[in-house]
Structure 1
Amino acid sequence: MARPKKRFQQLIEEIDRTPWGPEEQALVAEAVALAVELGDERLEYEARMRQTASANMVGATDVMLNSFAWCLAHHDADPQRFPADLDNGGADLMWQFKWMASSLRSSPAFSQEQIAAVLDDMEAHYRAAGLGLSGVLTARFEDAWDAGRMDDAEALRVQLEATPRDDHSHCDACGRSQFAGFFADTDRDADAIRLVEEMIEGGFSCGEEPEHALSRVLLPYLRAGRLEDAKTAHLRSYRLAKDNPDNLRIVANNIVFAAVTGNEARALALIERHIGWLAHDGLNVDAHFAALTAFAVALDRVVATGHGDTPVRGADAPALVGLFGEHDGAWTAAELATAAWTAAERIGAQFDERDGTDGHARSLARSRRLADESWDVPIRSDAFVATAPATTPTDADGWFDRAMQLAQFGAEHETLDALPRALEVTDPGKRAQLLSMRLGILVALDRIEEAEQVLPERIAALRDAGRDVQAELELRLGLATFGLDTDDTRAALEEELAAAERLPAWSRGDLAISRASLHLHADEPDAALDLAEHAARAFAEAEDTRLSNTTTLVAIGAVLSKGDLEAATALLDRFLAQDDLSAGHRAQALQTRARVRGGTGEHLDGAADADEVCRLLAELGATRALADAHVLAGALWEDADHPDRAVSRYRLASRLRAEAGGDATGVDFRLARAMLRSGDAQEAAELFGDVLQREEQADVAPASRGMTATLLARALAESGEFGQAVGVHGYAAELFGEGAEHADQAMAMTEQAKILARFEEHDDAIRLLEGAAEIVRGAPEAVGALSEVLHSLGQAYGGRGDERAFALFDEVAALAQQHEAGWLHADVTDSRARALAQLGRIDEAVAAALTAADAFAELGDPGSAGGSELFAARVLAGNERAADAVAVYRSALEHAEGFPPLRQVTALELGDVLEGLGRHGEAAEVRALLES
């Protein structure tokens, strides 16, 4: 029996240090089961007390109610053996009482009498235990507010504010959040905002705070005209809430925000991401009401923007039939909007009947009135994708043209999708061409058996078209002319080519281009180019413009394989100047030229080509290929240093990939990175978090996840979320360590240390930097990381007057000289100056700073030169050498031209120094510069 008890104790210890979530839930369930197996009710009580808290945090209401009832019954029966407080740092039984009434209120299955009985029982237990009544008043206030008894709720709020706080009062975060929500509901926006801002400024947090509070003041911020504050609150609230299904109300508030701020596509994306949460907690019906109402508001906006026919992914899940009813196929936004309003009205009526009020009806009416309110707060994480082009074919001949264009571009999947309708053409020549396309694609997709079944149909179509020679040729060769690459097919093609003079021109061209393509795939460009020339002559003789152009593209591919970018570019330019190109061939050539231009540094021209490819493919309805084309365009715009333009391309690519059921993780990584470069750090942080979560679920290599985590941490830091940024940098360091990427690991630790130092946590920062230095020395080839880490550690030592700084500066300077990194040498010289000043070595410090300034100026960096001179001047002025400082200040002022903040600071300080020297006229002249 000792071993199971020891295991139980291990479980309890592990539970108490594991964050809320699936892992912690599993541990709790194991502990309860083990206690039951042991037949030890005292141990079971310990486990179930934790189970109640766990279930509350993750929204398992049925588990929470059952667990609490079991614990309360045992406590009442024997308070000594089953104490209310286990003193484990978690919620005690009396605190858990507060969750019970709220949980009963959240489902209309429980009567008002049952809720009142729980509240009375709670008060009786509090009084019997000699506890203050703040917790009881809080529960009664919540009950009145949720039921819509607003006068009662206001009276209880006032009474609660006048009641002394005690150990069972809401924490600072939860109390402020709760009152803020009530104030927002009762049109006291300024009070709501004040409470939430007090919470944020005070750094108060709790299980679902500050994300809940931030979501409660989204509309108050908008109504107050504080749009940027509203956007910041939304992005932070949603990012913190999006991973826990118990946060359904918080997500609902954020969906409403997206809907009323012109971000309908984002609102729809959030609905699709979280609609499954409606099935998470069957007893939290009031949260379902809030979510359904939010969905309805948002979907109405989607309809109003002209996207009512957009399918809502996830809405047809079997678990949601009870809410929305039966439906044939996918729900459109318009259909689901109606269903969501209907479900919300049905649930609201059930609550109002239970409560004897019209609270939920009034809530619905307020939500409907939002249709008349809107604010412009652009968020660029999502966008609607254009529907099928207006030129969708209407007959078989139209589909024939569409399929041919798609095939000429190389859009394999879209071509296969178009072929069934195209093959309804009656012209046997056209059917033969279409079947050739099908065969080539099936072989390319390695669907050989399917291709073998189609081949007889192709041969029959050739005979019907009167092309018996070609039919006999393909009968002999099988799939050789359709790209099948084996020893036998290559030999067969060579044999037929040797005797090709007896064949018609078109057949000779077909043989030559087929063999050229195999040479190209085998990385034999010279042979491919030679045969492409033969094919071009044959197709020209046969007067087949389409295949002549196809052959030119093969030839261009061969030239590119040889690495001759100049020749390939010239061929592409001439090819694109032709007036006989199909849209498919033009798009293919433009895409090739875009890639070539990207490779040769002509990023703007390449991006323009890629954008034109996107336009052509959109007209052709090539949705999969269009996603890839948008990725290419985004990459080129990024390389051209236009990340804002890259954002729109990546965003469309992501949506297209997702709508096609593909994996958009890679595109979303690019999108988040472009957002970060564009200055949209908060939106980037949200998306990087999603990407990292998906990468973890897919068990992506640790180092790759580490890169995502690094960028997430950077986005968090730029968003002002420094505490989270420190943690994520630490996680990135762990991932890089796991992946044996030591330079990246050291850099992550260095970034972590920089944030800690910013907040005066110097001891922790130095410990991290020392560890990073030890790690990075194991990767001496990573010169950039090595110099960065050693430089940062030297600066940290120097800031504390530690002589060890100088050996590190010497090492970095040597690396800079070895690798001709002039700017780094100047920078480490500046760092040396600051360390010398810290040690009181004034002359050496000034000399080093001025040396750094000269180096920066010579490198064309006047801003950094001015910064070094400003430091030198301050050192002189601060050491009773004001007269010497004047000339240095003046030089710094000259270098500060074009850098307003540096110029302003330098002029102010120089003016003060001149004033102190009694040189009042000069001081006035310098200060006058501030007004110019």
Structure 2
Amino acid sequence: MGWTMADCPRCAASVDLDDAQLLENYLGQDDEHALALLLLPFLHAGQFGEARRAHLRGYRALKDPAGHPALVAQHLLFCALTGNLDRAVALAEKHIADLMGELAALNVVLGRAVDAGHGAAPLRIPIDVAFTLGLTGPPTIASVSAAIGVTRSELRAEHYDVALSTLPSARLSAPPMDFGLPATAEGWLDRCDELAELHEYESAYHAAGNALALDPEPEVRAEVLGYRVRLLSELERREEIPPIIAERAALLRGLGEDAHAGWLERSAELAVQPLTGDEVALAETLVSEYDRPELPLRVRAMPRLLLGHVLLYALRAEEAVSELQTGVEHARAGGAHRMADSAVYALAHALTITGEYAAAEHVLRATLSRPELRPATRPRLQLLLSQILAVSGQLATAAETAAEATEHFATLPGSSGWVGHASTLEVTYLAEMGDPVAAAERLRWTIERTQHAEWDATARWSLRCKLGSLLIAGHRIDEAVEVLRRITEELDVAADGVAGSEDDVADLAELAGEVWYWLGVAIRQRGDKRGALACWNKALDVLKDSPNSQAEPARIHFTIAELWHQDEKFQPAIAAYLESLVHIEQTRDPIAVAQVRRSLGLARCESGDPLGLNDLAEAREEAERLGEPMLLAELADVTARSLAVLKRYSEAVAPALQAADAYREAGDDVRAGLAELMAARIVAKQGQTVEAIALLRAAIEATIASGAGAHTVDSFLLLAELLDSQGNHAEAAEVRLEAEVRGL
């Protein structure tokens, strides 16, 4: 259980250095490595003030604690050895999952706490760490220290050669209880249920084993065996199931539950094989045999619920709804609320498949109103409810519900992945509601809270990339650049050492392309066009390792085209739009194809090439076929602008007015007013001043009536200009004053 730093090159280079060498190498530096590696040399030299400042600055500077456990260990040692055991234990609890390779340092903290008389204090540790250490009882500071199995004397000699008596006395307040390990079979049964609900099947199986090891009463043993059957099925160890069913049936008969035992034996055929949907006939037979009035309702519920699940596998959702509803009703009436609560998830899911979202929401809310609902079941149902609310357009309520699910998941062992999933949904809803800052802050919390989740590195990088994009949307550009640059550095290292399949290489390349894209967007918002183009070209370069990726290269080429287009460099813009079109056509996304053609057509027309009108016509045909009203409005708008730039004014007025009508029908009164302003300008260019004035008056009136009067300033100014040209100077002055007032 040696304390190694080999995972980090800088740490590895320092592991054998003495104090003098560490001071020579790092003194005066202010990065996370230097501040951590100088802590013990400062203490050895009696420079407690310097050590304390290095700890406070250095711990805050740790951007990736999970990636530098050796540095975290230095901070733990500092706290323990200076007597601040309260902070030392808190940090140990926070980072313990990352410190499995730093157990010696961890045990300095725990040993000091034991010496100070706090060995019986509870210690919060994740369930997987408890299993790794072989704990079977509630974790305490002393029990975890003993489980690590490293002697205190060895640790002192290895890590700290100053007599402990010269250090401040230890102090510790009792750490709060979180989720300690159960001490009874019933407690392990509840833990097994929680873990099974969270799909942590291996850990749940271990929990069931711990329950059985405590020789529970027959009723509890029978229930634990029921969980083992389900867990073995999920773990695809079905060959182990038959003897467990036989043992459970015998226990139930001994308890007088003959009907339940008979059901287990009769349905065993379905327990030892995965459901495929081909078992409907057998499941219907079981319903006829076991849903009979003379049998207990909890037994009658079982065949109904089984048939409901089989029908779902058979893609017969409407029939599944009926069976699941009956099963839930039987279970509730029979007092089997745990069975009913678990089945509600499948019932709500089936209702969403049939499009009955209101009914699904109702059944979920009814179940969530039960105060005795199990801790692991509640957030799973809340998570499903949030998704249903979002589909129904209730984004604010969906975000609140996802937040509640996140908080509930966070109280459960082994739930980091679920915390991440629920919080990511909340982040998505907040972003869709137009609150990227709140979404970014929530995503930061998610990334911190889920650092121990069993996700691969690509999933973690993807979350952080999402954070970068949200920070950009929230105009926090410097933070976004820092987040995204750090990911690119890590991805460069990962790409050098990647040895996975072609799919792994492609996945990493696609993620890298997205990160470089967003970094370019952030740098562009700083005003650095050259830097942005360099990032986007880098993105296109790394995407060569993902040959099947089309959407991301299309987006990057389109963004490059827009940059050239805004600078009126039409030829490179047209070339980039064409590159984007090549990729986007392969995605079979007709809306995206029409949008690229729209921009391509405008760029061609602005370059003086009337062939751009053909691109616009093709895009309009596609939009009409798809029935996309907003896209049709935008295409009419762009067509009018394109005709005007080609000086075909007489043809441009009609599409401009069509765009205004389409925007207004779609509820976008601001863009409708802008389209009418464009129409008036075109009419005025033709010398039809009276008609242009009338058009502007009508446009201004309609825009003000819609509540978008603040967006009429340009229209008022053009109206004043036209009135002046007609000699109506008094009204023109009044109109200019109105424009000034509205512009305030």
Q: TM-score band, normalised by the shorter chain?
A: 0.5 to 0.7
The one of 758, 769, 775 aligned to 2:577: 769
Distance between the aligned counterparts of 2:357 and 2:514, measured in 1? 32
Distance 1:469 1:803, change over 3 A: closer
Distance 1:421 1:271, change over 3 A: same
Q: Does residue 629 in structure 1 map to residue 422 in structure 2?
A: yes
Q: Conserved in 1, the CA contact under 8 Å of 2:318 and 2:350? A: yes
The one of 406, 411, 415 aligned to 1:614: 406
Q: Secondary structure at the match of 2:447?
A: helix
Other-structure match for 2:634? 824
Q: Does residue 269 in structure 1 map to residue 71 in structure 2?
A: no
The one of 546, 570, 573 aligned to 2:338: 546
For residues 673-694 of structure 1, what are the alpha-carbon distances to aligned partners after superposition, in whole Å with 9 as ceiling and x for unaligned? 5444444455455555666765
Q: Conserved in 2, the CA contact under 8 Å of 1:509 and 1:536? A: yes
For residues 212-244 of structure 1, what are the alpha-carbon distances to aligned partners after superposition, in whole Å with 9 as ceiling and x for unaligned? xxx99xxxxxxxxxxxxxxxxxxxxxxxxxxxx
Q: Conserved in 2, the CA contact under 8 Å of 1:893 and 1:907? A: no
Other-structure match for 2:94? 310
1:432, distance to aligned residue in structure 2 (A): 2.0
Q: Conserved in 2, the CA contact under 8 Å of 1:635 and 1:646? A: yes
Distance 1:443 1:753, change over 3 A: same
Q: Secondary structure at the match of 1:631?
A: helix
Give matches, 1:743-762, under 5 Å: 745-759=553-567, 761-762=569-570
Q: Conserved in 2, the CA contact under 8 Å of 1:595 and 1:606? A: yes
Other-structure match for 2:736? 926
Q: Does residue 435 in structure 1 map to residue 238 in structure 2?
A: no
Q: Conserved in 2, the CA contact under 8 Å of 1:594 and 1:609? A: yes
The one of 659, 665, 671 aligned to 1:855: 659
Q: Does residue 594 in structure 1 map to residue 403 in structure 2?
A: no
Letter of the 2:223 partner, please give it. Q
Letter of the 1:789 partner, please give it. V
Q: Secondary structure at the match of 1:659?
A: coil
Distance between the aligned counterparts of 1:797 and 1:848, measured in 2? 16
Distance between the aligned counterparts of 1:899 and 1:497, measured in 2? 66
Letter of the 2:217 partner, please give it. D
Give matches, 1:133-148, under 5 Å: none
The one of 725, 732, 743 aligned to 2:532: 725
Distance 1:331 1:699, change over 3 A: farther
1:311, distance to aligned residue in structure 2 (A): 1.0
The one of 484, 505, 508 aligned to 1:699: 505
Letter of the 1:852 partner, please give it. A
Distance between the aligned counterparts of 1:307 and 1:763, measured in 2? 58
Distance 1:415 1:627, change over 3 A: farther
Q: Does residue 660 in structure 1 map to residue 466 in structure 2?
A: no
Letter of the 2:63 partner, please give it. A
For residues 326-368 of structure 1, what are the alpha-carbon distances to aligned partners after superposition, in whole Å with 9 as ceiling and x for unaligned? 5257989x99xxxxxx9xxx9xxxxxxxxxxxxxxxxxxxxxx
Distance between the aligned counterparts of 2:96 and 2:354, measured in 1? 48
Other-structure match for 1:793? 600
Q: Conserved in 2, the CA contact under 8 Å of 1:734 and 1:745? A: no
For residues 241-274 of structure 1, what are the alpha-carbon distances to aligned partners after superposition, in whole Å with 9 as ceiling and x for unaligned? xxxxxx978999xxxxxx99x9999844334446
For residues 136-157 of structure 1, what are the alpha-carbon distances to aligned partners after superposition, in whole Å with 9 as ceiling and x for unaligned? xxxxxxx9xx999xxxxxxxxx
Of all paired residues, the percent bearing the same amino acid is: 20
The one of 642, 645, 665 aligned to 1:835: 645
Distance between the aligned counterparts of 2:516 and 2:339, measured in 1? 49
For residues 498-525 of structure 1, what are the alpha-carbon distances to aligned partners after superposition, in whole Å with 9 as ceiling and x for unaligned? 6546976654544554454344334344
1:659, distance to aligned residue in structure 2 (A): 1.0
Distance between the aligned counterparts of 1:249 and 1:846, measured in 2? 72
Distance 1:661 1:526, change over 3 A: closer
Distance between the aligned counterparts of 1:450 and 1:440, measured in 2? 11
Distance between the aligned counterparts of 2:683 and 2:57, measured in 1? 56
Letter of the 2:561 partner, please give it. A
1:719, distance to aligned residue in structure 2 (A): 4.7
Q: CA RMSD in A?
A: 6.0
Q: Conserved in 2, the CA contact under 8 Å of 1:742 and 1:776? A: yes
1:623, distance to aligned residue in structure 2 (A): 1.6
Distance between the aligned counterparts of 2:176 and 2:317, measured in 1? 40
Distance between the aligned counterparts of 1:487 and 1:857, measured in 2? 52
Distance 1:412 1:606, change over 3 A: farther
Distance between the aligned counterparts of 1:491 and 1:791, measured in 2? 55
1:752, distance to aligned residue in structure 2 (A): 0.5
1:849, distance to aligned residue in structure 2 (A): 5.9
Q: Conserved in 1, the CA contact under 8 Å of 2:598 and 2:635? A: no
Q: Conserved in 2, the CA contact under 8 Å of 1:565 and 1:596? A: yes
Letter of the 1:521 partner, please give it. Y
TM, length-normalised to structure 2: 0.63
Distance between the aligned counterparts of 1:110 and 1:648, measured in 2? 37
Distance 1:303 1:917, change over 3 A: farther
Distance between the aligned counterparts of 1:833 and 1:488, measured in 2? 62
1:405, distance to aligned residue in structure 2 (A): 5.3
Give matches, 1:574-593, under 5 Å: 574-577=366-369, 581-593=373-385
Unaligned ranges ≥5, structure 1: 1-57, 63-106, 113-142, 149-184, 186-214, 217-246, 253-258, 279-287, 319-324, 336-341, 347-385
Q: Conserved in 2, the CA contact under 8 Å of 1:904 and 1:930? A: no
1:750, distance to aligned residue in structure 2 (A): 2.6
Distance between the aligned counterparts of 1:428 and 1:725, measured in 2? 69
Q: Does residue 517 in structure 1 map to residue 301 in structure 2?
A: no
1:900, distance to aligned residue in structure 2 (A): 5.4
Letter of the 2:238 partner, please give it. I
Other-structure match for 2:169? none
Distance between the aligned counterparts of 2:287 and 2:694, measured in 1? 85
Letter of the 1:699 partner, please give it. V
Unaligned ranges ≥5, structure 2: 1-8, 14-18, 38-52, 114-155, 161-174, 499-503
The one of 105, 109, 112 aligned to 1:327: 105
Q: Secondary structure at the match of 1:269?
A: coil
Distance between the aligned counterparts of 1:928 and 1:404, measured in 2? 69
Q: Conserved in 1, the CA contact under 8 Å of 2:517 and 2:535? A: yes
Give matches, 1:199-348, under 5 Å: 267-273=61-67, 309-311=93-95, 327-328=105-106
1:436, distance to aligned residue in structure 2 (A): 1.4
Other-structure match for 1:17? none
Letter of the 1:270 partner, please give it. D
For residues 183-237 of structure 1, what are the alpha-carbon distances to aligned partners after superposition, in whole Å with 9 as ceiling and x for unaligned? xx9xxxxxxxxxxxxxxxxxxxxxxxxxxxxx99xxxxxxxxxxxxxxxxxxxxx
1:763, distance to aligned residue in structure 2 (A): 4.4
Q: Conserved in 2, the CA contact under 8 Å of 1:870 and 1:906? A: no
Distance between the aligned counterparts of 1:315 and 1:875, measured in 2? 70
For residues 578-622 of structure 1, what are the alpha-carbon distances to aligned partners after superposition, in whole Å with 9 as ceiling and x for unaligned? 566444444444333333333333333333333333343334445
Other-structure match for 1:18? none
Distance between the aligned counterparts of 1:639 and 1:870, measured in 2? 30
1:800, distance to aligned residue in structure 2 (A): 4.0
Distance 1:870 1:251, change over 3 A: farther
The one of 236, 243, 266 aligned to 1:446: 236
Distance between the aligned counterparts of 2:23 and 2:521, measured in 1? 50
Letter of the 1:447 partner, please give it. R
Q: Conserved in 1, the CA contact under 8 Å of 2:92 and 2:106? A: no
Distance between the aligned counterparts of 1:111 and 1:509, measured in 2? 71
Mean Cα displacement is larger for which, 444-453 or 527-536? 527-536
